[in-house]
Amino acid sequence: MARNAWSARLLIWAAVVPILVTAFGRRDVPPACDDHSFMHVLPPNVSIEKVDFVESGNTYGEGSRNLNYPVQPTNLPELCAVTIFVKSSSKSAYRFGLFLPVDWNNRTLAYGNGGFGGGINWLDMGAGVKYGFAVLSTDTGHNSTSGDISWALNNPETKTDWGWRAVHGSVEIGKKVVEEYYKKKIDYSYYSGCSTGGRQGLKEVQISPDSFDGVLVGSAAWYTSHLNTWVSKVGTYNLPLTAPNHINASMFPAMAKEVVRQCDRLDGVEDGIISAPDECTPDYTVMACNRPGVNQSACLTAAQIETTKKAYGDYRAADGTLLYPGLSPGCENQWSLVLSQNMTSLYGLNYARYFLYDDPDWQWQDYNDSAPEYAARKDPGNATADGYDLAPFRDRGGKMIMYHGLADGLVPAKGSDLYWDRVVRTTSGGNATATQAFFRYFTVPGMGHCGGTAVDAPWNFAAPFQASSLGNDSWSVPGHRDARHDVLLALMGWVENGTVVEDVVATTWDMSNDSATPVLKQRPLCPYPATARWDGRGEVDAEGSWGCE
């Protein structure tokens, strides 16, 4: 089916469902929405914790008790909410939640998590269920905020739940529950996750290629052993606080502005958005404190300029082996996520303390370059998603879309480049075209970590976490709920109809996180290594003036 026809069908479906419900009145509570309906499909180590019927327009979740996802989705469709408890070992357990809508589209959608946080991601589930999916999410075996990893101390089983087992078990059990509830087979299964959620999706594809038909992976923190040690390493470049090399976070906005000035025009148009960061090497000597006429309240010393070079540089072993790529020009507004003020980021510090070394007294000053090799060898929880042979997923017809914001200051975008390159070599013998037949990778100029922008760049295309950035009742791309602008719908079209995703249009608004304000800019995202190029004639902020080259 052609892209436009697919989009039209989805729009018609979205419009007709509420009309039918209004015309015939609210249906009776589905008799299957009780715990007795699911008991006989659950393994002995699994139990029903809670079942609730949710009327149309209501909210659901666990509120402030859910430390990582305290905000609940609102304006939900009529559905059955189920919470399931799984005893994963003698020392660990995890939970997962399901939204089972009355108006089901015969598909499942699993959502990922963020950071090391625990908690069922009810908020993203609320966006997903509005498409008609039966949606699920796991708490990964604990309840904590994103940077709190103390739950992992001396508990390898809980690390394993976070690493892969909670997602895999939730998907496996969840599918059985869905089919029992609706008394029919699932047509298609999908996944959507960013950051840790991106890692979770890649890991599940690697260990269980038949779990999903379509996978959406963003800003993936896939290289757990090397990414989290890099987080510690890059943090040490800007420490200690009193050292001459230290750059205060108050300087980062001025640095970001200067990098835009130097790097913006390299893509052929000066629009405030860096679209070709790999072609630019920022020169901070123009901000040097010893330069005549430089503002002394916004300048960099020679030692601080050396710090910037280290942050952009690749992290390599003594023999030159790449350990992890550095930050890209254009992400300076997010540097405070890893270049902290009095210690390294919790994603590195607490990973070392509670996940890697099981030593709560470990300090950032204890870091040394043996950490990445040790972390790779130990790989607590078997969390690292470094399987590059995706042939089993490809051969069963699976499709994957991966994306990364080029202004991501937490998980370097070049990490996704690295994963893509290794998949091309391993799965397709170096043939990128063959890889693109089932796996496409999109870079997003000006987008930060998983979403948002500091430079008015188009950033929203219905990727995970993006709907919740617009409000707890948002879903898809408001005003643009079609496969041209919504990457999840585009993925569905590719999986189910063979409509190859040649591009996806990203959107931003006058107030970038308020879709009630007018659309400010739209621009196509292109499958790597292609990039969007302005035609030199049309309106720069209109997506029709751009093409993929």
Q: What is the 3-state secondary structure (H, E, C) of 75-90?
A: CCCCEEEEEEEEEEEC
Given a contact cutoff of 8 angstroms between Cβ atoms, the answer to whether 197 and 301 are in contact is no
Look up the pTM and report it.
0.93
Which pLDDT value is given to residue 231? 98
Which pLDDT value is given to residue 20? 32
Q: What is the pLDDT of residues 467-486, one digit of tens each?
A: 999 999 999 999 999 999 99
Collapsed DSSP state (helix, strand, coil) of residue 511? strand
Pick the closest to residue 450 from 514, 403, 492 (CA basis): 403
Domain ranges of the chain: 32-183, 227-381
Which pLDDT value is given to residue 30? 54
For the record, the structure tokens of 278 come out as: 């790999």
Task: Tell me 425's DSSP state.
Answer: H
Pick the closest to residue 98 from 82, 122, 85 (CA basis): 82
Q: What is the pLDDT of residues 70-83, one digit of tens each?
A: 999 999 999 999 99
For the record, the structure tokens of 455 come out as: 């430079």
Given a contact cutoff of 8 angstroms between Cβ atoms, the answer to whether 81 and 170 are in contact is no
Which pLDDT value is given to residue 452? 97
Residue 29's φ and ψ, nearest 5 degrees, are -60, 130
Distance (Å) of CA 290 to CA 248, 293, 301, 343: 18, 9, 8, 29
Which pLDDT value is given to residue 9? 41
Distance CA 58, CA 75 (A): 5
Residue 147 CB neighbours (<10 A): 15
pLDDT below 50 — which residues of the chain? 1-29
Which residues partner with 525 through β-bridges?
Answer: 504
Given a contact cutoff of 8 angstroms between Cβ atoms, the answer to whether 174 and 392 are in contact is no
